Amino acid sequence: MLPLLTDDAAVACCSPVTEGVLTADEAERIAHTFKALGDPTRVRLLSLIAASDDGEACICDLTEPVGLSQPTVSHHMKLLVDAGLATREQRGRWAYFRVVAGALEQASRVLRP
């Protein structure tokens, strides 16, 4: 026979997953971030940029490591920029990207108890 749970035990085991109730706009924004991270290529691209010596990477340097064409990598990077995970700076004909500091931590914060 299972022991009966007291109200205190129910609260302890059923505490909210998030820091609080999200508004519809907040939930949409965070879902957009996680959706952008839902593709392994995009996760690798962020990793490549973050691991670069100066914390940025030219689009021309990202195609070979992921084995994709420049237009495909550009599409993936656009989704990461739109989700707020990376920034884009145009320099002549090339685009340079940086990971937004704290963006992953901010998105994951809503899942912490």
Domains and CATH numbers, the chain: 7-109 (1.10.10.10)
- 81 Cβ contact list (under 8 Å, min separation 6): 87, 88, 97
What percent of the chain is modeled with pLDDT above 90?
59
pLDDT, position 10: 41
Rounded average pLDDT over 25-36? 89
- Residue written as token pair 């700076």: 89
pLDDT, position 35: 93
pLDDT exceeds 70 at position 81:
yes
Contact (Cβ atoms closer than 8 angstroms) between residue 67 and residue 45: no
pLDDT exceeds 70 at position 5:
no
Q: What is the DSSP letter of 68?
A: -
* pTM, 2 dp: 0.76
Q: Which helix (H) or strand (E) holds 94?
A: strand 94-99
pLDDT, position 19: 58
Weakest mean pLDDT among 11-20, 27-36, 89-98: 11-20
